């Protein structure tokens, strides 16, 4: 990766989470002597994979589990103990969190489901959990999550089949996922294809620590070069933007995989973790601003991460394509143009040297078709051609198709030496890889990876240029009355912000129920819509808190009573403004 500047300011994370990721001791609350049960899996993961910290089983039923002394409660656990893994059912979690606070355990990981994702009763339990954690001074991951992994130190804190895989490997990636099962599975696939992850965090319902908190923490870590984020929804768009800006500043890409972008997908996200997701357009606008590279599938993650692992960013979007087949060159050229890359002509000097190196019936124009004649000289001429193209000042990066068979080894050894002498990235469309040269078999995928490098490099240049000069504002700064607490900005407040910047909005009134009941007339034309205003209920339709086409004042008053009742049923603790 390119050299990184000294930090200016960190994207606001919850706190230093180092002891959560590398605890000196882990207590397993609700441990079981049955290895297949969740409490048993959690113990086995710590004992069998090389975790070197202290392990404290907690369950009053046992004196020992798997030969390890078992404690009746958290108060009896020796110090230091930094993390309590809570493998209890939902109704017992808050009491365990309270015990963590009294025992001086700063972090807790809650595995159980049965909270906000199951409806009003679960939402009440989750609110109780959050309030208890704040009162006790305990930071919480979960509930409804699989746990977290620090593969550098083999701290596998959680449960599940993927955590038990011996094929997981450490490396300079980190993943934050709002879907534990799927996200951990993606990590396993990426490890199979040669990538490594130092940290993996499943955030669950995010009663306390959120995916954004973890992204802000991980992007700062010196042993993390790339962050991967699997997101269903977030509550703080400003923090997302700040994290993206920080990623650009540090030169560390965030590969972001946003799901729940359709109506059906949004409903699925709600049932999964009770997480509502804003319109996809808003996310895409945020992704365009910062160091985010949007991915859409596992192949994107693997290919683009490998491309970034080269440690080289292109100076521009000018690509040279070299192939041994004219058809492959045409395909790669098409894909480059589709991804916003250019295939400029080579300089006359480079084109002349290629005509001297290659056979007469080869094409020295970009895309370059060297033909299969290289089999006659073990592709020595093809290797020379690649070196010449890499040196061309009209070219920023190269994608090349390469030979297989007995000629591959001597040819590739010469290529590796050539790459040590250039700052330009090269991606091979080839099925195997070594020496940190990314090899991507499918031509379209290879080009997509180059396009990702190009996009991030452009953002880096824009950041550096923007740091040197202050751009004029498109509109004067406005004094905004924003709520002091977290949550979404209510519709009425949001429209007030838009209006302050000269954007036309629909005429409306914000009234309390008492104010509305006392009115004998409204200064608005019928028919009217009636909605609640709440920063805690961003999606009013799903809450049943919208009524349309009210024909008169009596209907408006009745609709107001109905939407208030619906909002209270949907989220009893919601702030109604």
**CA end-to-end distance (rounded Å), the chain:** 48
Rounded CA-CA distance 464/528 in Å is 50
Q: What is the dihedral sign for C-alpha 470, 476, 479, 481?
A: negative
> Looking at the structure, do residues 447 and 332 belong to the same domain, yes or no?
yes
Strand, coil or helix: what is 328?
A: helix
- CATH code of the domain containing 88: 3.40.50.720
pLDDT at 12: 60
Q: Is 480 inside a domain boundary?
A: no
> Looking at the structure, do residues 274 and 328 belong to the same domain, yes or no?
no
Q: What is the DSSP string of 225-270?
A: SEEEEEES--S-HHHHHHHHHHHHHHT--EEEEE---SHHHHHHHH
Please state, for a pLDDT cut of 90, what percent of the chain lies above it. Answer: 67
> Looking at the structure, do residues 150 and 137 belong to the same domain, yes or no?
no
Rounded CA-CA distance 255/225 in Å is 11
* 440 touches 428 (CB < 8 A): yes
Domain C-terminal end among 121, 142, 163: 142
Q: Is 31 inside a domain boundary?
A: yes
Average pLDDT over residues 191-211: 96
Look at residue 184 and tell me whether its pLDDT is greater than 90: yes
> Looking at the structure, do residues 102 and 185 belong to the same domain, yes or no?
no
pLDDT at 571: 86
Rounded CA-CA distance 159/180 in Å is 10
Look at residue 215 and tell me whether its pLDDT is greater than 70: yes
Cβ-based neighbours of 463, under 8 Å, separated by 6 or more: 245, 248, 249
> Looking at the structure, do residues 99 and 127 belong to the same domain, yes or no?
yes
Q: What's the distance, CA 107 to chain centroid?
A: 22
pLDDT at 399: 95
> Looking at the structure, do residues 202 and 106 belong to the same domain, yes or no?
no
Q: Is 2 inside a domain boundary?
A: no
Look at residue 429 and tell me whether its pLDDT is greater than 90: no
> Looking at the structure, do residues 256 and 376 belong to the same domain, yes or no?
no
Q: What is the mean pLDDT of the chain?
A: 89
Whole-prediction pTM: 0.82
> Looking at the structure, do residues 175 and 245 belong to the same domain, yes or no?
yes
Cα–Cα distances in Å, from 154 out to 51, 164, 166, 205?
A: 5, 11, 11, 25
Q: Is 234 inside a domain boundary?
A: yes
Look at residue 5 and tell me whether its pLDDT is greater than 50: no
> Looking at the structure, do residues 400 and 387 belong to the same domain, yes or no?
yes
Domain C-terminal end among 259, 289, 309: 309
Cβ-based neighbours of 249, under 8 Å, separated by 6 or more: 5, 7, 8, 291, 463
pLDDT at 6: 45
Q: Is 555 inside a domain boundary?
A: yes
CA angle 329, 330, 335 (to 5 degrees): 95
Rounded CA-CA distance 185/334 in Å is 33
- CATH code of the domain containing 525: 3.30.1490.20
Q: Measuring CA to CA, which residue among 428, 427, 422, 348 is closest to residue 391?
A: 422
Burial class (CB in 10 A: 0-12, 13-18, 19+), 502: exposed
Total of domains in the chain: 4
CA angle 277, 135, 99 (to 5 degrees): 105
Structure confidence at residue 240 as a pLDDT band (50, 70, 90): very high
The 8 Å CB, 24+ separation contacts for 462-466 are 463/245, 463/248, 463/249
How many Å is the Cα radius of gyration of the chain?
28
pLDDT at 281: 83
pLDDT at 302: 96
Q: What is the pLDDT of residues 93-149, one digit of tens each?
A: 999 999 999 999 999 999 999 998 888 899 999 999 999 999 999 999 999 999 999
> Looking at the structure, do residues 383 and 506 belong to the same domain, yes or no?
no
Q: Is 529 inside a domain boundary?
A: yes
pLDDT at 372: 85
Q: What is the pLDDT of residues 439-481, one digit of tens each?
A: 888 899 999 999 999 999 999 999 988 766 666 777 787 777 6
Q: Is 29 inside a domain boundary?
A: yes
pLDDT at 43: 98
> Looking at the structure, do residues 194 and 274 belong to the same domain, yes or no?
yes
pLDDT at 537: 85
Rounded CA-CA distance 466/240 in Å is 20
* 173 touches 228 (CB < 8 A): yes
Structure confidence at residue 557 as a pLDDT band (50, 70, 90): very high
Please state, for a pLDDT cut of 70, what percent of the chain lies above it. Answer: 90
- CATH code of the domain containing 279: 3.40.50.261
Look at residue 486 and tell me whether its pLDDT is greater than 60: no
pLDDT at 417: 75
Look at residue 9 and tell me whether its pLDDT is greater than 70: no
Structure confidence at residue 10 as a pLDDT band (50, 70, 90): low
Q: What is the pLDDT of residues 335-373, one digit of tens each?
A: 999 999 999 999 999 999 999 999 999 999 999 999 988
Look at residue 282 and tell me whether its pLDDT is greater than 50: yes
Q: What is the pLDDT of residues 13-51, one digit of tens each?
A: 557 899 999 999 999 999 999 999 999 999 999 999 999
Domain C-terminal end among 309, 327, 343: 309
* 354 touches 394 (CB < 8 A): no
Q: Is 1 inside a domain boundary?
A: no
The CB-side HSE value for 20 (13 A sphere, CA atoms) comes to 26
> Looking at the structure, do residues 55 and 135 belong to the same domain, yes or no?
yes
Lowest mean pLDDT among 153-167, 293-307, 502-516: 502-516
Domain that holds residue 327: 319-466
pLDDT at 365: 95
């Amino acid at each position: 990766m390119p050299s990184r500047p000294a930090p200016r300011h960190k994207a606001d994370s919850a706190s230093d989470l180092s002891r959560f990721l590398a605890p000196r001791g882990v207590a397993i609350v609700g441990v079981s002597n049955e290895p297949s049960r969740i409490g048993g899996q959690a113990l086995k993961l710590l004992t069998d994979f090389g975790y070197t910290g202290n392990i404290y089983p907690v369950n009053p039923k046992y004196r020992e589990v798997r030969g390890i002394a078992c404690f009746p409660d958290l108060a009896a656990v020796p110090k230091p103990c930094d993390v309590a893994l809570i493998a209890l059912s939902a109704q017992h979690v808050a009491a365990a969190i309270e015990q963590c606070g009294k025992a001086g355990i700063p972090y807790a990981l809650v595995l159980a489901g049965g909270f906000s994702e199951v409806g009003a009763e679960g939402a009440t339990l989750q609110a109780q959990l959050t309030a208890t954690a704040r009162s006790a001074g305990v930071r919480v991951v979960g509930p409804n999550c699989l746990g977290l992994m620090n593969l550098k130190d083999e701290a596998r804190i959680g449960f599940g089949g993927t955590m038990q895989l011996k094929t997981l490997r450490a490396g300079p990636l980190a993943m934050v996922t709002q879907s534990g099962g799927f996200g951990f599975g993606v990590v396993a696939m990426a490890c199979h294809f040669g990538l490594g992850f130092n940290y993996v965090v499943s955030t669950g319902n995010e009663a306390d620590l959120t995916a954004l908190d973890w992204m802000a923490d991980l992007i700062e870590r010196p042993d993390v070069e790339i962050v991967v984020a699997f997101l269903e929804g977030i509550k703080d768009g400003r923090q997302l933007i700040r994290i993206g800006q920080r990623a650009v500043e540090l030169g560390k890409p965030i590969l972001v995989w946003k799901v729940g972008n359709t109506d059906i997908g949004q409903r699925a996200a709600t049932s999964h973790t009770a997480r509502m997701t804003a319109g996809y357009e808003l996310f895409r606008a945020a992704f365009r601003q910062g160091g985010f590279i949007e991915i859409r599938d596992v192949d994107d993650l693997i290919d683009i991460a490998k491309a970034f692992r080269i440690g080289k960013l292109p100076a521009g979007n000018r690509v040279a394509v070299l192939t041994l087949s004219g058809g492959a060159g045409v395909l790669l050229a098409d894909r480059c143009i589709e991804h916003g890359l250019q295939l400029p002509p080579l300089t006359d000097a480079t084109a002349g040297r290629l005509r001297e190196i290659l056979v007469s019936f080869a094409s020295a124009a970009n895309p370059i078709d060297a033909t299969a004649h290289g089999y006659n000289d073990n592709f020595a001429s093809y290797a020379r051609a690649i070196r010449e193209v890499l040196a061309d000042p009209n070219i920023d990066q190269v994608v090349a198709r390469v030979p297989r068979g007995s000629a591959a080894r001597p040819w590739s050894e010469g290529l590796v030496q050539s790459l040590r002498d250039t700052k330009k990235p090269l991606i091979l469309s080839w099925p195997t890889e070594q020496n940190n040269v990314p090899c991507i078999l499918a031509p379209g995928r290879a080009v997509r990876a180059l396009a990702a490098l190009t996009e991030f490099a452009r953002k880096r240049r824009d950041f550096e240029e923007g740091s040197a000069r202050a751009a004029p504002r498109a509109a004067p700064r406005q004094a905004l009355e924003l709520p002091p607490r977290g949550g979404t900005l209510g519709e009425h407040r949001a429209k007030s912000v838009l209006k302050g910047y000269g954007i036309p909005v629909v005429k409306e009134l914000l009234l309390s129920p008492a104010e509305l009941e006392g009115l004998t007339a409204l200064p608005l034309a019928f028919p009217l819509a009636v909605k609640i205003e709440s920063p805690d209920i961003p999606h009013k339709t799903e809450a049943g808190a919208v009524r349309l086409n009210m024909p008169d004042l009596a209907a408006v008053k009745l609709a107001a009573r109905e939407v208030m009742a619906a909002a209270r049923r949907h989220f009893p603790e919601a702030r109604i403004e």
